[in-house]
Structure 1
Amino acid sequence: MDDVSDRIDPARAWVAVAVTTVAALVAGALAFPRQVYDGFLWQYFWGPVVADGTGSACAQRVDGETLLLDSAADCQQAMGIVAEPGYTRLSTITYALVLIFALVGVVFLLRRLDIGRDQGLFFALFPFMLFGGALRTVEDASIAMLRETGEPAISFPLSALFISPFIYFTVFFVTLGALLLSVALARRGPLDRYEYPLAAIGTLAFTITIGYLGWLAISTEVLEINPGIAIITLVGATVVAALAWVGTERFVPEVNVATGYMGVLVVWGHAVDGFANVLSLDWSEELGIPTYSPKHVVNSAIIDITGAVQPESVSEAIGTAWPFLFVKVAAALFVVWVFNDEIFEESPQYSMLLLIAILAVGLGPGTRDFLRATFGI
């Protein structure tokens, strides 16, 4: 048994599983379109994106045709296969499994390319996390224009590339292409390190996306520019990250031993998410931005608990979302502390990729949240 396992290349096995799964889904959809495509792929994965991208209350699949319904009442009365914007339990579990499977595949790729053992990959991918959050804001802007003018900035189905969860695949493949191109330039071209072109491509993608949002704000009346939101969020997150670094270095320096400045960036990214949520939820009226509702389950629970135990006068003065910032920073510090030298020594590429994912989980949504408020979406 051990001889057999030793002969199996894990990377080749991963590719075989991926190809087999895709082939099985395609074959099943062609052979049994009602059961496999309509009742599974469309209902749980593509249908919700169709409803979201078209600004519909839901989408209905009838005799191989897609119908768009504009009211919740029509959706409740609809028979057969109906898909609403958002996630279901099945789709959430499936996407989680796909994410884990993809992370394993990326680890195999990093090992094959013999990269990702040091901090260079972490910092080079930082602009792509900002790019992902900004790209999701583009879809928010497009939906806002659809509701105000009847015409989206980006028409469906192209807009599906920017809708969650498909946007994660879009950012992933853009990042993967940039990584492969950068490695090729470093090994076959005039560059010494792949990290420089990789960071440059990510920065360019983020800059173009921000430029497009700025153009929409200038050329339309749907968007506006509130630079104070971005300034408060970014400066506040920077101050919090600096205080966290100074405090841990003085009192518990072992927290930063393995991660160094990577840990600072992880704390900063989650502080951005914390500040963006606090400003959007508690200070929207004072800042002159649209009113938002909490999207995180944890955030909603924190708001409910704070509102219950905090005096009403205090809640009216400072709001109830502020503990979310401290929870985010504390959680980030705990994660940074967990990443010790032993973890990086045992599996450097996997550990580095996992730390990158942890930063992206905070910075991606945080970037989207403060950009939405900045552009009044």
Structure 2
Amino acid sequence: MATVAERVGADPERLWGGSVAAVIAVLVAGWVVFPELVYDRFIWQYFWGPVQADANSAVCATRADGVVQYLSSTQACATAPEPVAYPGYTLVSEVGYMVTLLVALSGLVFLLRRLDIGTDRRFFYALFPFMLFGGALRVVEDANDTPSATDALVSYPWNTLVISPIIYFTVFAITLAAVVVSVAAERSGAIDGYEVPLFGIGTGALALSLGYLVSLVVTDAPGVEFHPQVLLVTLVGATLAAGATWWVIERFAPEINAGTGLIGFVIIWGHAVDGVANVVGLDWMPALNAGRNLVPKHPVNQFVVDVTASVLPASVVAVTGDTWPFLVIKLVAATFVVWVFEEGIFEESPRYSMLLLVAVLAVGLGPGTRDMLRATFGV
């Protein structure tokens, strides 16, 4: 089947660039002509406003006549005039970020094609530490909200660079720079392959983030605690859940993983970390003597909690909690994704397939790492 670019007779890279430029032009034009509708009630309310509110540790943010105010009580937010932006995600923003991700991946394919990399599985494993780094870096910002760390790290507006979803672009930029540096070192003859230094850069960035968090514990920084039991339970629980899922696949439906191989297990494990981290953070914190439970920030998490609480009897919820279905959903979804990536997909579009697998793992392991470490360090 011919691609869109082939049917219209256009260069794929120019078609992609022109399409992105056209969308940006439409948004800018709408911003100029209808600023309140396009910027205030769309771009700001669903995308930039939540980041501002989160960066300023506010319950919500409001915008009127170009002035942003940060409110610190739920009641004030409920009675504030629209537009009102709350920290976290909405269905509108999640759809917008999903579309942005797919468009960015398409552009990245063109870059990898020019660099002539990204077709083998070593590329996937070389990027693995960066997904952990993204989650750890987000917790660094969480710790930055503590009294002792505020002066040590960046403050608003620079802290928006490490707040979701802007942090995805930040980590992407760091990862891209690491890829370019590693490939350049290989092409210069300094090293034999770019994968090892790329993995090393990601591991180093992760170590720096974790080192900062550990330093806060060692120096007894206010607002920062250390609950190793949370880290242990999450990692062990995720590994057991992923291992059980993998055993079922290999035993009863090995065709599901015929295309991805070991990458399939890594993806399932990454999403199991996200699922278990949610169960532990939202339900098990008091039971683990690790402080109060966290609050779900994603609409999907909140939806699962609400449905479970409404369907199951209160006596059952009191024992099992109301977030465990989220782990089941994550395992089923990850298994489905693994099944979709059959061998033929890798043969037809190896670079795009690898990038999609990286993205699939990142959207699970990144938030999962953040939730796990946030609960572990009590921030």
When normalised by structure 1's length, the TM-score is: 0.86
1:65–1:320 CA distance, 2 compared to 1 (3 A): closer
SS of aligned partner of 1:59: strand
Identity %, equivalent residues? 52
Q: CA deviation at 1:279?
A: 1.5
1:149–1:237 CA distance, 2 compared to 1 (3 A): closer
Q: Deviations over 1:57-100 (max 9, x none)?
A: 33344554443333344445555755443445554443332222
| Matching residue's letter, 2:357 | L
Aligned counterpart, 2:99: 97
Q: CA RMSD in A?
A: 3.1
Q: CA deviation at 1:281?
A: 2.3
Q: Are 1:120 and 2:122 counterparts?
A: yes
Q: Deviations over 1:176-233 (max 9, x none)?
A: 1111111111112321211111111111111111111112223302111111111121
Aligned counterpart, 2:327: 325
| Matching residue's letter, 1:336 | V
- Please, which moves more after superposition, 257-266 or 58-67? 58-67
Aligned counterpart, 2:158: 158
Aligned counterpart, 1:142: 144
| Matching residue's letter, 2:265 | V
Q: Which has the higher contact order (CA 8 A, sep 6+)?
A: 2
Correspondences of 1:176-195 after superposition (within 5 Å):
176-195=176-195
1:259–1:90 CA distance, 2 compared to 1 (3 A): closer
CA contact (8 A) 1:141 1:153 kept: no
Q: Are 1:245 and 2:246 counterparts?
A: yes
Aligned counterpart, 2:281: 280
CA contact (8 A) 1:128 1:203 kept: yes
Gaps of at least 5 residues in structure 2 are none
Number of residue equivalences: 374
Mapped to 1, the partners of 2:249 and 2:274 lie a distance apart of: 21
Aligned counterpart, 1:265: 266
SS of aligned partner of 2:351: helix
Q: CA deviation at 1:149?
A: 9.5
CA contact (8 A) 1:218 1:224 kept: no
CA contact (8 A) 2:285 2:293 kept: yes
Q: CA deviation at 1:115?
A: 1.5
Q: Deviations over 1:132-167 (max 9, x none)?
A: 111111222223x26x99879541111100111111
Correspondences of 1:55-134 after superposition (within 5 Å):
55-75=57-77, 78=80, 82-87=84-89, 90-134=92-136
Q: CA deviation at 1:243?
A: 3.3
SS of aligned partner of 1:8: coil
Gaps of at least 5 residues in structure 1 are none
1:31–1:321 CA distance, 2 compared to 1 (3 A): closer
Aligned counterpart, 1:205: 205
Mapped to 1, the partners of 2:228 and 2:327 lie a distance apart of: 21
Mapped to 1, the partners of 2:12 and 2:185 lie a distance apart of: 27
SS of aligned partner of 2:267: helix
